[in-house]
Amino acid sequence: MTRHTPAIVILGQGSLNTARKIQQLYPDALIHGLVERVEGADRTYVEFGTTLRQLYQQDTPIIALCAAGIVIRTLASVLLEKGAEPPVLAVAEDGSAVVPLLGGLGGVNLMAREIAAGLGVAAAITTSGELRFGTCLLSPPSGYALGDLELGKRFVSDLLGGASVRVEGDAPWLAQAQLPEDPQAALTIRVGCAEREPAADQLLIYPRCVAVAVSARLPDVAAAVREALHAARIALPSLACLLAADTDMANPLLHDAASQLGVALRFVAPATSISQMAEQAVPQLLPPIDVSADLAIAVCRQPLDPQQIGRARGRLAVIGLGPGSDELMAPAVKAELARCTDVLGYETYVRMAGPFRADQVQHCTDNREEMQRARHAFELAAQGRSVIVVSSGDPGVFAMAAAVLEALHESSDPAWHQVDLQILPGISASLATAAQAGAPLGHDFCVLSLSDNLKPWEIIEKRLDLAAQADLAMAFYNPISRSRPWQLGRALEIVARHRAPETPVVLGRDIARPGQSLRVTTLGELTPEQVDMRTMVLIGSSLTCVFAKPGGGEWVYTPRWYGERP
């Protein structure tokens, strides 16, 4: 099986040394440390339970440096859900014990042995079959699939009960196993792609050596693949991937079919016939079986690695990191950061989004090269890579999402339009600041950037004037900078024409980042010197009010109603 990169999770500083030793075995793995307890981890988290369950549900192997009991209790609620079961191990803080807990079929014992060897201790393997035969028969290596798990469990227990076994077909990984082999045995391990009826005396293992080339013209692709394989007496678990013409890359029916069948979907250049398409993609093939003009089956002698066949549909995700802290980042964004191959963005944001694994490429650029960055992102994604463009806050608020769409709109390159483009939202600075102050944006409000880099100053003045007249609360992004020193003062003059000097104003600087500050003042007292480019300026409406908090500071809110209190 293809193993995902594990996450090493620690609760205290005392575990960091052991965690680093384990990291040497899995150089791509990141160490997740509890915030304020661990210094020098690669990632921080706030809540152990949420973090562990999220990793588990994302199918990430977990190496937790804490008591086995804590891990069991934490994951208990997600264990009964169907879905991922990644390897989960508990390792003693001091590295003296390695306990595989879950994911027996995901290779947890193998990981336990690797880690134990790295730490110079013995792994606490408790799986009888594994102990006796030195391998887990029910967890064949990458490129092979087990036929039936329940029958398999009985098969292994028969072996443990003293029965002998013979191996039919090509199973190189079993060479080192200590199996009770006997050419006359009643029990058989059968390795091959032929379709067979399940039987109690056979352990069926299918090499994933079949690719099926399909055309998007088929009315039901998944059903057609199942029927064709059955008619050819080829077992479904031997299917390694679907192949289709790259002109159909964005066709959702093909993607649905591949996910229904649980296999990868790979694309190749269209060819004169469907079987030729298969031959071009997989050179080591036996002659393809032409089923129809829309479907051909290709069988190989060896398991196929779908990653090496044709190419995947590229993906481009424009993500919002939120204002800065890890806990205000959406889980969908975290999952995207974990899966991407390339990250593009302004250096500060790329650093904020990291750390990244050694296999993830970082492309840092200057903040002002937005269109160039957007085009670069499409070039990479069109090659089949999984690309992220990072923004702070929300990507659709004065950030990269619009630039990426503009680049796509301008392009006539079909490969760019085939890319799987996703915009993943984040908490924007105005909302993060408002939440800390209370609810200053609790009624109608408007969001403005005071930067005149991409729009004439006159339109900014006009919008400010009309928004102030309309009594909207306001959020100013990009309020001031070294190259735009006077604009904020002018903006405040315009607002002051329509709004009283007592109007509450909130200044949030570096919100949700180290050294954050929040200040409540009034329009009359606000001067441009109190504001810099890392500040969010929120201006209240005529109804915005302020009252004291018991421990100091103030709550600011704008009521939900307008006019007379209902």
**Choices 131-139, 198-206, 287-295, 425-433; region in contact with ligand SAH by CB under 6 A:** 425-433
Nearer to ligand SAH, 250 or 330 (CB): 330
Q: How many residues bind ligand SAH (CB under 6 A)?
A: 25
Least CB distance to ligand SAH at residue 126 (A): 49
Minimum gap (Å) between residue 481 Cβ and ligand SAH: 8
- Does residue 44 touch ligand SAH according to CB under 6 A? no
Strand runs (DSSP E) across 92-237, as ranges? Answer: 98-102, 144-146, 165-168, 187-191, 202-207, 210-214
In terms of Cβ atoms closer than 10 Å to its own Cβ (0-12, 13-18, 19+), residue 381 is buried
Residues in the chain: 566
| Lookup result for tokens 């152990």 | 48
Residues 427-446, one symbol each (x = binds ligand SAH by CB under 6 A, - = not), give -xx---x-------------
Residues with Cβ within 8 Å of 175's Cβ and at least 6 positions away in sequence, in order, are none
Angle between helices 400-410 and 370-382 (to 10 degrees): 60
- Residues 211-270 binding ligand SAH (CB under 6 A) are none
Q: Rounded to the nearest 5°, which phi and psi values hold at 157?
A: -70, -30
Under rule CB under 6 A, residue 279 binds ligand SAH: no
If the CB atoms of residues 23 and 451 are measured against ligand SAH, the closer one turns out to be 451
- Nearest approach, Cβ of residue 321 and ligand SAH (Å): 9
Choose between 275 and 391: whose C-beta lies nearer to ligand SAH: 391
Asked if 478 interacts with ligand SAH (CB under 6 A), we say yes
Please identify which residue in 295, 512, 526, 543 interacts with ligand SAH, judged by CB under 6 A. Answer: 512
Of 169, 200, 205, the C-alpha closest to 187 is: 200
For residue 70, give both structure tokens.
């804590």
| String of contacts with ligand SAH for each residue 320-359, x by CB under 6 A | ---xx-----------------------------------
Between 351 and 513, CB nearer to ligand SAH: 513
Q: Rounded to whole angstroms, how far apart are CA atoms 317 and 380?
A: 12
By the rule CB under 6 A, 487 interacts with ligand SAH: no
Options 391, 487, 503, 541; binder of ligand SAH; rule CB under 6 A: 391
| Structural tokens at position 76 | 């208990």
In three-state form (DSSP H/G/I as H, E/B as E, the rest C), the secondary structure along 282-334 is CCCECCCEEEECCEEEEEECCCCCHHHCCECCCEEEEEECECCCHHHCCHHHH
CA 278 to CA 306: how far, in whole Å?
A: 13
Contact call for residue 533 and ligand SAH (CB under 6 A): yes
**Which of 477, 503, 538, 558 is close enough to bind ligand SAH by CB under 6 A?**
477
Answer for which of 44, 418, 535, 541 binds ligand SAH (CB under 6 A) is 535
Beta bridge partners of 539: 474, 505
Nearer to ligand SAH, 95 or 426 (CB): 426
Distances, alpha carbon 277 to alpha carbons 309, 363, 370, in Å: 11, 34, 38
Q: Which residues of 491-521 are buried (b: 16+ CB within 10 A; e: fewer)?
A: bbebbbebbeeebbbbbbbbbbeeebebbbe
Residue number of the CB atom closest to ligand SAH: 393
Q: How far is the CB of 371 from ligand SAH (least distance, A)?
A: 16
Nearest 5°: the CA angle 502, 504, 510 is 145
Of the candidate residues 536, 538, 539, 543, the single one contacting ligand SAH (CB under 6 A): 536
- Contact region with ligand SAH (CB under 6 A), list: 94-102, 180-188, 414-422, 528-536: 528-536
Q: Which residues bind ligand SAH (CB under 6 A)?
A: 323-324, 391-394, 397-399, 428-429, 433, 477-479, 508-513, 533-536
